Structure 1
Amino acid sequence: MMKEKQKVEDRINDLQSQIDVLPSGTFFCTRNNKYYKWYYTDKGKTKYIPKSERKLAEQLVKRKYLESRLRKLKQEEKRIDIYLKQYSLDEFSSYHVEEHPELQKLLSGVYVPLKQELDEWVNASYTNNPKEPQKLIHKTIPGILVRSKSEALIINALFEHKIPFRYECLLQIQNVSIYPDFTIRHPVTGEVYYWEHFGMMDNENYAHNVYSKLQL
Structure 2
Amino acid sequence: MQMNEILSVANVLPVLQTAADQLQSLISAKEKALKKAPAGRLRLSRRKNQVQWFHVTKGTTVHGKYIPVNEIGRAKALAQKEYDQKALPELKKWRLLIDSFLNRFRLQNLENLYACMHEGRQKLVSPVYESDETYIAQWLAGVYEGKKIEDDVPEIMTLRGERVRSKSEAMIADTLYRLKIPYKYECPLAIRHKKGTSRNTMTVYPDFTCLNVRLRQEFVWEHFGMMDDADYSSQVAWKVTCFEGNGYFLGKNLIVSMESSEIPLDATRIEKIAMQYLL
Report the TM-score, using the length of structure 1 for normalisation: 0.50
Alignment of 1:53-202 (within 5 A): 99=107, 101-102=109-110, 105=113, 109-111=125-127, 112-130=130-148, 132=150, 134-135=152-153, 137-174=155-192, 175-202=201-228
Q: What is the SS of the residue equivalent to 1:150?
A: helix
Which residue of 2 is the match for residue 60 of structure 1? none
Q: Alpha-carbon deviations, 1:134-187, whole Å to 9, x = none?
A: 426211100011111111111111001100111111011122211111111102
* Structure ID, larger Rg: 2
> Does the Cα contact within 8 Å between 1:136 and 1:145 map onto a contact in 2?
no
Q: Which amino acid aligns with 1:110?
A: S
CA distance in 1, matches of 2:151, 2:220: 21
Report the TM-score, using the length of structure 2 for normalisation: 0.40
Q: For structure 1, list consecutive stretches of 5 or more residues without a partner in the other structure.
A: 17-80, 89-95
CA distance in 1, matches of 2:234, 2:149: 16
Q: Which amino acid aligns with 2:160?
A: P
CA distance in 2, matches of 1:154, 1:127: 20
- Greater shift after overlay, 194-203 or 114-123? 114-123
Pair 144,131 (structure 1): closer, same or farther in 2 beyond 3 Å? closer
Pair 180,142 (structure 1): closer, same or farther in 2 beyond 3 Å? same
Q: Which amino acid aligns with 1:182?
A: F
Aligned residues between the structures: 138
Q: Which amino acid aligns with 1:169?
A: C
Q: What is the SS of the residue equivalent to 1:197?
A: strand
Which residue of 2 is the match for residue 215 of structure 1? 241
Q: Alpha-carbon deviations, 1:111-132, whole Å to 9, x = none?
A: 2434312123224321212363
Q: What is the SS of the residue equivalent to 1:118?
A: helix
> Does the Cα contact within 8 Å between 1:118 and 1:190 map onto a contact in 2?
no
Q: Which amino acid aligns with 1:128?
A: G
Over aligned residue pairs, what C-alpha RMSD do you find? 4.0
Which residue of 1 is the match for residue 6 of structure 2? none
CA distance in 1, matches of 2:160, 2:173: 8
> Does the Cα contact within 8 Å between 2:149 and 2:165 map onto a contact in 1?
no
> Does the Cα contact within 8 Å between 1:135 and 1:146 map onto a contact in 2?
no
CA distance in 2, matches of 1:189, 1:209: 31
Pair 157,207 (structure 1): closer, same or farther in 2 beyond 3 Å? same
Q: For structure 2, list consecutive stretches of 5 or more residues without a partner in the other structure.
A: 1-11, 29-93, 115-121, 193-200, 243-279
